[in-house]
């Protein structure tokens, strides 16, 4: 039994040993939105940092998740039968039940896996990563796949300029495996929910509170509603504070952190978080300009792109951070374990 840097008595740390991603081909740029709502490229770029986003024309969230997992398996040369658990982080499951994880399991042929979905809005991936790591740390499982996937275009009202310009569709996945070398892997996490924020960002229709009816459809209750300004204020403080807190707790100074990996909702929120941590822009993973806010997929998508572009190296200390509906927010500190 080893004592981890965080003083936890356990044999294993969970480390990311594979990544995968899938973005649909269809691109919606800011010019397109100028043609459907009263907006313009300059407003979108300066207020959000988004230039374009991808939209899935045929298929559902399980399509995005399945392709991401297949990409991960290909890149690691793994057979699907080796997967023990599949966790799908999403707010746009294919349907209420069965869980999207079941569809992904069947699609990829992961015959020996069990799995489930996790819903925590834009923090879904962080929460799923924490749960998946726990399964590895317990010593019960050897290969846990954590997927972040959302088909946001399924719940966006394309007549509402406040929200339609923000979101895109994508899927991305990481593989977690055990390591006995505690210098690598998930080192610490600080995660929060505060349900008193539930009225600022939600989709009201279709659940047990407002089962689907002609009325819920007429009232557009199956679309995202966001009080952008209210969410912005708490997101800036929440994401910046929790990222700073995890650095303090783990005695990290800004020079120790190779990258901040933030949820990609708004470049201004990302900058505020980096400023609070004392980290310059070149040490922040950013792809919001290409994909917009893909909810559960933003963080693994950044990890996959930056790793594949050779920008992340073994031993790099990363701080992941997210804020989303609920409210939900948090930060995970990990040490990259792949060459």
User: Kind of pairing, strands 13-22 and 259-262?
Assistant: unpaired
Least Cβ distance, residue 239 to ligand UT7 (angstroms) = 8
- For residues 153 and 294, give the distance between their C-alpha atoms in angstroms, rounded to a whole number: 10
If binding is defined by CB under 6 A, does position 269 make contact with ligand UT7?
A: yes
Pairing relationship of beta strands 201-202 and 26-29 according to DSSP bridges: unpaired
The smaller minimum CB distance to ligand UT7, of residues 115 and 148, is found at: 148
Residue number closest to ligand UT7, CB atom: 228
Record the tokens describing residue 183, joined without a space.
């210098």
Q: Is 192 one of the binding residues for ligand UT7 (CB under 6 A)?
A: no
Per-residue binding string, ligand UT7, 144-163, x by CB under 6 A, is: -----------------xx-
Closest by alpha carbon to 201, among 171, 233, 169? 233
CB closer to ligand UT7 out of 247 and 265: 265
Q: Are 155 and 223 in contact (CB under 8 A)?
A: yes
Q: Which of 19, 60, 128, 231 binds ligand UT7 (CB under 6 A)?
A: 231
By CB under 6 A, the residues from 116 to 135 that bind ligand UT7 are 122
**Least distance in angstroms from the C-beta of 231 to ligand UT7:** 4
Q: How far is the CB of 191 from ligand UT7 (least distance, A)?
A: 15
CB 193 within 8 A of CB 324: no
Q: Are 163 and 226 in contact (CB under 8 A)?
A: yes
User: Does 47 participate in binding ligand UT7 (rule CB under 6 A)?
Assistant: yes
287 in contact with ligand UT7 (CB under 6 A): no
Q: Residue 228, interface with ligand UT7 (CB under 6 A)?
A: yes
Q: Is 39 in the site for ligand UT7 (CB under 6 A)?
A: yes
Q: Which residue among 30, 263, 266, 302 is the active-site one?
A: 263
Helix (H) or strand (E) holding 100: helix 100-108
Cis peptide before 98 (omega within 30 of 0): yes
Could you list the beta-strand ranges (E) of the chain: 2-3, 9-10, 13-22, 26-29, 52-55, 85-89, 114-118, 144-151, 169-179, 185-193, 201-202, 225-226, 259-262, 317-324, 328-335
- Scanning 42-50, 55-63, 125-133, 272-280 for contacts with ligand UT7 by CB under 6 A, the matching segment is 42-50
Instruction: Check if the beta carbon of residue 243 is closer than 8 Å to that of residue 299.
Output: no
Task: Report the residue number, 74 or 198, with the smaller CB distance to ligand UT7.
Answer: 198
Residues that bind ligand UT7 (CB under 6 A): 39, 43, 47-48, 122, 161-162, 165, 228-229, 231-232, 235, 265-266, 269, 293, 323-324
The residues assigned a catalytic role are 122, 263, 293
């Amino acid at each position: 039994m080893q004592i981890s840097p965080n003083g936890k008595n356990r044999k294993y740390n969970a480390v990311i040993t594979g990544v995968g991603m899938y973005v649909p081909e269809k691109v919606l740029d800011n010019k397109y939105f100028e043609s459907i709502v009263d907006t313009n490229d300059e407003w979108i770029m300066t207020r959000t940092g988004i230039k374009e986003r991808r939209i899935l024309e045929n298929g559902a969230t399980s399509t995005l998740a399945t392709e991401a997992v297949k990409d991960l398996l290909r890149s690691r040369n793994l057979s699907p039968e080796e997967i023990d658990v599949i966790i799908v982080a999403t707010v746009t499951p294919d349907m209420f039940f069965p869980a999207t994880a079941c569809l992904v399991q069947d699609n990829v042929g992961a015959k020996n896996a069990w799995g489930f979905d996790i819903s925590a809005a834009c923090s879904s991936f962080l929460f799923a990563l924490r749960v998946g790591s726990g399964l590895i740390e317990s010593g019960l499982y050897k290969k846990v796949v954590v997927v972040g996937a959302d088909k946001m275009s399924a719940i966006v009202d394309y007549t509402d300029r406040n929200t339609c310009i923000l979101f895109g569709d994508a899927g991305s996945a990481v593989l977690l495996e055990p390591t006995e070398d505690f210098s690598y892997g998930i080192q610490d996490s600080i995660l929060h929910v505060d349900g008193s924020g539930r009225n600022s960002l939600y989709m009201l229709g279709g659940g047990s509170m407002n089962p689907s009816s002609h009325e819920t459809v007429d009232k557009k209750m199956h679309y995202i509603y966001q009080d952008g300004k209210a969410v912005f204020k708490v997101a800036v403080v929440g994401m910046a504070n929790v990222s700073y807190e995890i650095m303090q707790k783990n005695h990290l100074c800004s020079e120790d952190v190779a990258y901040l990996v933030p949820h990609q909702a708004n470049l201004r929120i990302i900058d505020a978080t980096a400023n609070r941590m004392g980290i310059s822009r070149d040490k922040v993973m950013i792809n919001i300009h290409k994909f917009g806010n893909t909810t559960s997929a933003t963080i693994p998508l950044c990890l996959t792109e930056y790793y594949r572009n050779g920008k992340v190296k073994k031993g790099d200390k990363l701080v992941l951070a997210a804020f989303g509906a609920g409210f939900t927010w948090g930060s995970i500190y990990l040490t990259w374990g792949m060459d």
